[in-house]
Amino acid sequence: MYTTEFEKTAKIKNLEDPKLLEAFEERVAADEFIEPKDWMPEAYRRTLTRQISQHAHSEIVGMLPEGNWITRAPSLRRKAILLAKVQDEAGHGLYLYCAAETLGTSREEMIEALHSGKAKYSTIFNYPTPTWADIGAIGWLVDGAAIMNQVPLQRTSYGPYARAMVRVCKEESFHQRQGYEIMIVLANGTAEQRRMAQDALNRWWWPSLMMFGPPDAESPNTAQSMRWRIKRETNDELRQKFVDITAPQADYLGLKVPDRELKWNEEKGGYDFGEIEWEEFYAVVRGEGPMAKERMKARRDAWEDGAWVREAAAAHEAKRRQRKAA
């Protein structure tokens, strides 16, 4: 991906130039990709910076709920898998930070915005992971919902974002499959293991549906984002798709989706499902999730505890540079 450094030499143009805007809209409508040095409307740049950096933050914070199970994984096989998955999440965060940086915001600014609480990340990571079944449910449902969201983003209009998504999607399928495999083992295990699996599904189902964002009618940015091909499908369309493919997977496990209104609708060729409690969603967005404070503390601690490594690496580089010069 290109760099913030490139931006410094970019010419300053009249951002409101209607001719430029028209040409831009035409390119996007023709499914062309926009690249970092191309002219783009300020609102497009702002929207993308916000969306990509939130996406990056989510990957980074997403390591925390699962990371705390690495040392407690039930077998060496599971431990190696979980370690690889959490490492992937870090990688995904890095691809996305790189993509966001091409829009002119530095990595440092983004990390600071996360740590100060100014930047948002996916609300899903503010729920706790008290049992091993949560690791299964996260892979199956949370990563499943993430895939549903990310697949169309491979064709998003901003080139660096689309390319990062191609890479992420390639790696994400393993995350979902390892989670579902955990659920299969638990669902076919002892009565206690089955209870644990059902309990995890009960707690993660609704938050997973909320991952697609507010209903289309209450999502003010959707229309503009669709027009600019930042988003390719609406929140409600993606949510419906997710329910349609996930409900039969729960059936296979012999687990019950915690929604009495969930029912196959032959006519529409999809499932009907119950109303989402949006008040809970907005409360979590406002930072009232059960784990919000702990997540941010863990992030800040990791950043501060790692400071000596960054300083040592910088000192090492400076010393070698001096030696070379001498």
Partner 1 sequence: MNDWPLWEVFVRSKGGLSHRHAGSVHAPDAELALAHARDTYTRRMEGVSLWVVPSKEIVASDPDQAGELFEPAESKIYRHPTFYDIPDEVKHI
Residues at the contact surface with partner 1, assessed by CB under 8 A: 1-6, 11, 35, 37-39, 84, 87-88, 91, 94-95, 98, 101, 106-108, 163-164, 167, 171, 307, 310-311, 313-314, 316-317, 320
Closest distance of CB 6 from partner 1, Å: 7
Distances (CA, A) of 326 to 79, 313, 316, 320: 48, 20, 15, 10
For residue 195, with 0-12 CB atoms within 10 Å meaning exposed, 13-18 middle and 19 or more buried, which class applies?
Answer: middle
What radius of gyration do the chain's Cα atoms show? 22
Strands (E), 213-285: 263-265, 270-272
Which of 19, 260 has the CB closer to partner 1?
19
Which of 36, 214 has the CB closer to partner 1?
36
Are the CB atoms for 142 and 204 separated by under 8 Å? yes
What 8-state DSSP symbol labels residue 126? G
Helix (H, G, I), strand (E, B) or coil at 187: helix
Closest distance of CB 115 from partner 1, Å: 13
Which of 26, 317 has the CB closer to partner 1?
317
Are the CB atoms for 131 and 199 separated by under 8 Å? yes
Dihedral angle of Cα 128, 56, 107, 303, to the nearest 10 degrees: 20
Closest distance of CB 186 from partner 1, Å: 27
Amino acid at 110: M
Which of 38, 199 has the CB closer to partner 1?
38
Which of 176, 198 has the CB closer to partner 1?
176
Closest distance of CB 57 from partner 1, Å: 16
Closest distance of CB 106 from partner 1, Å: 6
Closest distance of CB 235 from partner 1, Å: 28
Which residues, listed in sequence order, are joined to residue 272 by a DSSP beta bridge? Answer: 263
Dihedral angle of Cα 230, 114, 176, 160, to the nearest 10 degrees: 40
Which of 11, 77 has the CB closer to partner 1?
11
Q: Is 104 left (phi over 0), alpha (psi -120 to 50) or beta?
A: left
Which of 31, 108 has the CB closer to partner 1?
108
CB atoms within 10 A of CB 46: 13
Helix (H, G, I), strand (E, B) or coil at 106: coil
Closest distance of CB 171 from partner 1, Å: 7
